[in-house]
Amino acid sequence: MYTFLKPYTFNNGMTVKNRIMLAPMTNFASAENGEVTDDELAYYRERSQGVGTVLTAVANVTPGGKGFPGEIGIDRDDQVAGLSKLAQTIQGEGAKAIIQMFHAGRMAPPDLLPDKETVSASAVAPERDGATTPRELTEDEIQSIIQAFGDATRRAIRAGFDGVEIHGANTYLIQQFFSPHSNRREDEWGGSVEKRMRFPLAVVQEVLEAAKEAEQPFLVGYRISPEERENPGITMEDTLTFVNELAKQELDYLHISVQDFFAGSMRDASDQRSRVQMIQDEVGEKIPVVGVGSLHTPDDVERAMAGNVPFIALGRELIVEPKWIEKVEAGQESEIRTDMSVNDREALVVPESLWNVIVNTPGWFPVKEHVEN
């Protein structure tokens, strides 16, 4: 039996049926006001039947924190009814439902924001073409955003989710506070690595406090990117300091965001150690680690778990093959779909909005042109 098919019980008593999570992937399929749509529900229903846990696409905790068109929202109480449908859809297929939440910070497209103005730890633009320079957040705004994460957690509880994942990765606001590139503050929120940890840890504390209001076991995870390419940028040394601090919190898991589980440093080509494995070796005995990144086959997943990483999240693999787990369980590994044609959208139950991005982004997914017989 594959290791990843075994159940797992968290410290809070919640048991998941296996070690595979659906990775949190933006699907661009929510309504303009952040409401869940039928297309979104169908997409999750199709992918919730085999995995133990579903991590939803990221949801913004404030109107000014929206990062994508068609993004799900968790910033208003009137969204709870739709969020409840999403949680029930996932749980109805046998998976635990965890909603990921964030504030996009300086990575938000200005035209999606109420005042068309991006904000961040400091007024430093990201290193990318056409980037706008954000406005530095005030102390009151920082406190308000921290509170917004707590309010979002309460909405998740009311909607019936099994947990939340704090998105502290992929260059969004929480990471922007931790990064010496985007955080040049000279107050209590910036400077040394300890000061740059303060905002992420304040969000964690706020969310954990709100999570105590759940009447059932409720998971709180944290997603982190180990490094940044920018100089100055987040180094592995920074991250190992940070994960040791995160491991002291009452978090239920730590999700490591990388493109390739086995890849080495993006800052130092001579350092070929897996970033995920380094974090597992550092804190894995204190907090469960979730690995991810270009693991296509059951053997890939087993090899990744050989270093005692207890969970693996699959993203693109479960878009290309929604029945990945079911085929493994049935001994049909050879029938797992590894590519798709431009005509497969309906068969794979992918929202048109996400499908258009997939087929128009060369190299992101293994898409082949459909050939008529």
Whether residue 371 lies inside any domain: the answer is: no
Q: With 70 as the cut, is the pLDDT of residue 246 above it? A: yes
pLDDT score of 369: 73
Whether residue 368 lies inside any domain: the answer is: no
Whether residue 356 lies inside any domain: the answer is: no
Give the model confidence (pLDDT) of 309-364 as tens digits: 999 999 999 999 999 999 999 999 999 999 999 999 999 999 999 999 999 999 89
Whether residue 85 lies inside any domain: the answer is: yes
Whether residue 364 lies inside any domain: the answer is: no
What residues contact 26, with CB distance under 8 A and at least 6 apart?
A: 57, 58, 68, 71, 354
Q: How far is the C-alpha of 90 from the C-alpha of 253, rounded, in Å?
A: 20
Active-site annotation holds for 172: yes
Give the model confidence (pLDDT) of 128-162 as tens digits: 988 999 999 999 999 999 999 999 999 999 999 99
* Burial class, 295, CB count within 10 angstroms (exposed 0-12 / middle 13-18 / buried 19+): buried
Query: How many helical (H) and strand (E) elements, i.e. helices and strands, does the chain have?
Result: 13, 16
What residues contact 38, with CB distance under 8 A and at least 6 apart?
A: none
> pLDDT grade, residue 370 (50/70/90)?
low
Q: Please pick, among 43, 172, 222, 253, the residue that the annotation labels catalytic.
A: 172
Q: What angle do CA 177, 212, 197 make, to 5 degrees?
A: 15
Domain that holds residue 131: 3-338
* pLDDT-above-90 percentage for the chain: 97
pLDDT score of 188: 98
Q: Return mean pLDDT, the chain.
A: 97
CB–CB of 297/278 below 8 Å? no
Instruction: State mean pLDDT over 188-212.
Output: 98
> pLDDT grade, residue 373 (50/70/90)?
very low
Whether residue 347 lies inside any domain: the answer is: no
Q: How far is the C-alpha of 249 from the C-alpha of 204, rounded, in Å?
A: 8
Whether residue 326 lies inside any domain: the answer is: yes
- The phi and psi torsions of 323 (rounded to 5 degrees) equal -100, 25
* pLDDT-above-70 percentage for the chain: 99
Give the model confidence (pLDDT) of 207-243 as tens digits: 999 999 999 999 999 999 999 999 999 999 999 999 9
Instruction: State mean pLDDT over 261-279.
Output: 97
Q: How is residue 90 written in tokens?
A: 């996932």
CB–CB of 7/16 below 8 Å? yes
Whether residue 353 lies inside any domain: the answer is: no
Domain count of the chain?
A: 1
Can you give the CATH number for the domain in which 274 is found? Answer: 3.20.20.70
- One-letter identity of residue 138: T
